[in-house]
Amino acid sequence: MANEIFISYKREDLEKVKAIKTELDEVLRGEHCWIDLDGIESGNRAFQVKINKAIEESTVFLFMMSKSSVVSDNCLQELMKADQEYAKDEKKHLVLVKIDPGYEMIGMFKMMFGNRDIINYDDQNQHDKLIRDLRKWLDIPEIDPLKEVRERVEQLKAEDKISANRRERIDSEMRKMQKQLGETTVECPVCGEKNQVDEQYCQRCGYILNYFSKPSFEEERLNLLRFNWNSKLDLAAKLQQLEEEIKQSSEREQSLNSELQTSQSEYAALKRQYDEDKKYIEEVKKKEEEEATKRLAEEERKPYMVFDVNGVIFKMIRVEGGTFQMGATIEQGNYAKNDEIPVHSVTLSDFMVGETVVTRELWAAVMGSNPSYFKGAKNPVEQVSWNDCKEFIGKLNSMTGQSFRLPTEAEWEFAARGGNKSGHFKFSGSNSIGEVACYVGEVACYDNSEICPVGTKKPNELGIYDMSGNVWEWCEDRYGDYNSSQQTNPKGPDEGSCRVLRGGSYCDSARYCRVSRRNYNTPDYNCYGLGLRLALSL
């Protein structure tokens, strides 16, 4: 068979063109493509004649268009030859195939061939269209995708027929061997009837007497057949007894009819009672389900949840979602920094946040050790980096089956402001910082500063402690500038090398402990005043 597709390409594209040829030969079911794989030099006259003859005899000319082929004299000569040759015959087709994703038509090539349709071989739709066109041009029928399935079905049918014949031969041999052993009868496994060895069916119940080894479910089938047969015998015996009794006495017949009517009446009464009991049970079940749903809803709406980790108890406070103004609002005064503006509207869904920051005893119960500088089980854990906090939360979730996390910066500020119960204070729960915060005074100072046990000061409007002062608290967000747009459940910037810190610490002055004050550091940084507070989505 002559090659019907001529592929023109540049030597630099050989590997990709060979792959395309292999695919075309496969989908077109045969060797339809002609390409130069020998690399004969273009100056060879005999080879040029061979090229021209191959182009003339081909039905389809595929020009593999790339950065190198469109500037190759040999490739362009082949293209011009095909363009002239195919213009004489409408049954011949010239196709430009783009195989170089980075190439676009330019210059003289675009002027000469810019009006031609181009097939992008890497575009699946265009690739599939080229295959369909080639089948049509070369008169190659579509492959039947279900041919293999049909052939497999026929094969299985043949195998099943062979298997059935084999079972019949084995069954016949079994019967002959049983006769040779002197056994003339075989017992039916269903009804127990003794049948001649040559019998194919039980003469009593009709069971197929097959000696071939039975599948695993056959025993269950036999049990069912035995049960049905025995039930049939019992019913037949009862019917016979009743018939005899009816024949013997018409009075007995009347008595049986009376018993039947009584039984029917009793059945009707029992049916009514059953329907009433069923209705009652359904009502009780429905009521119990409603109560369970109500209890679950009440449980979900509880203002707090209590957790126990290796004997250490801690509480999570529910924060009802809402909308608030985030940033340097008016009560923050002249202490507000540039990164606290612009003030912007934020809407949050319900969530839970720790009643206190994580303590040294809770950290030790989860991690087995404690990094804190200050001692005391109820003191906040500190000297922990953002990375340390993420590791702690991962282990805590494995122990509790929960999904604890760090609060987002917006959740932290909303909770610190008192949520929907906000009194619009400068600090978390008060305008008087001494009521709600463990802090150093008017001037920040590490010397002679002392951390406080959690819950020592007054809580804020939601019953949350120490959101001003004591320790800076890591948030989930990356640090970045605010914008004025309204936001819903913001997660912070997508990029940035630092993570947000909030709340101030025991060694900071009051201006650092405001609810809108922001701080930040790298995720691996830790020092005396850095801790964390847990959050939980609802």
pLDDT winner (highest mean) among 115-129, 182-196, 506-520: 506-520
Fold classification of 304-537 is: paralog of FGE (formylglycine-generating enzyme) (3.90.1580)
Q: For residue 90, what are its two tokens?
A: 């409408």
The residues near 439 (Cβ < 8 Å, ≥ 6 apart) are: 433, 468, 469, 504, 505, 506, 508, 509, 510, 512, 513
| Segment 164-211, tens digit of pLDDT | 677 777 777 777 887 788 888 888 888 888 888 778 778 888 777 765
So what's the architecture of 5-137 in CATH?
A: 3-Layer(aba) Sandwich (3.40)
| Opening angle at CA 159, ends 154 and 164, nearest 5 | 125
| Segment 514-533, tens digit of pLDDT | 999 999 999 999 998 999 99
Q: Look at strands 499-502 and 472-478 and give their pairing.
A: antiparallel
Contact in structure between 422 and 515 (CB atoms under 8 Å): no
Contact in structure between 452 and 376 (CB atoms under 8 Å): no
Nearest to 421 by CA among 305, 504, 303, 500: 303
Relative orientation angle of helices 360-367 and 386-400, to the nearest 10 degrees: 70
In the block, tokens 């802090």 appear at 439
Give the model's confidence band at 1: pLDDT under 50 very low, under 70 low, under 90 confident, else very high.
Answer: very low
Q: Is the pLDDT of residue 404 over 80?
A: yes
Q: What is the dihedral of CA 116, 83, 96, 30, to 10 degrees?
A: 140
| Segment 218-271, tens digit of pLDDT | 666 667 677 777 777 777 788 788 778 777 877 777 878 888 888 888 888 888
CA distance 460 to 413: 12
Q: For 142, phi and psi rounded to 5 degrees?
A: -65, 145
Beta bridge partners of 8: 63
The residues near 138 (Cβ < 8 Å, ≥ 6 apart) are: 4, 5, 28, 32, 59, 60
Residue 528 is classified by DSSP as: T
The whole-angstrom distance between residue 172's C-alpha and the CA centroid of its chain comes to 56
Give the model's confidence band at 306: pLDDT under 50 very low, under 70 low, under 90 confident, else very high.
Answer: very high
> Do the domains spanning 5-137 and 304-537 agree at the CATH topology level?
no
Secondary structure of residue 52 in the 3-state scheme: helix
Q: Is the pLDDT of residue 467 over 70?
A: yes
**Alpha carbon of 212 to those of 63, 184, 225, 262, 485: distances in Å?**
67, 18, 18, 51, 81
Q: Is the pLDDT of residue 17 over 80?
A: yes
The answer to whether the predicted template modeling score (pTM) of the entire model surpasses 0.85 is no
pLDDT at 267: 84
**% of the chain with per-residue pLDDT over 90:** 46
CA distance 430 to 442: 17
Contact in structure between 344 and 484 (CB atoms under 8 Å): yes
Nearest to 466 by CA among 347, 340, 359, 392: 359
Q: Provide the residue ranges of all domains of the chain, joining segments of one domain with +.
A: 5-137, 167-228, 269-294, 304-537
| Opening angle at CA 106, ends 105 and 108, nearest 5 | 115
The residues near 84 (Cβ < 8 Å, ≥ 6 apart) are: none
Q: What is the largest CA-CA distance in the chain?
A: 124
Q: Which long-range contacts (CB under 8 A, 24 or more apart) does 267-276 make?
A: none
Ranges of H-type helices in 249-385? 250-300, 360-367
Q: What is the mean pLDDT of the chain?
A: 86
Contact in structure between 209 and 186 (CB atoms under 8 Å): yes
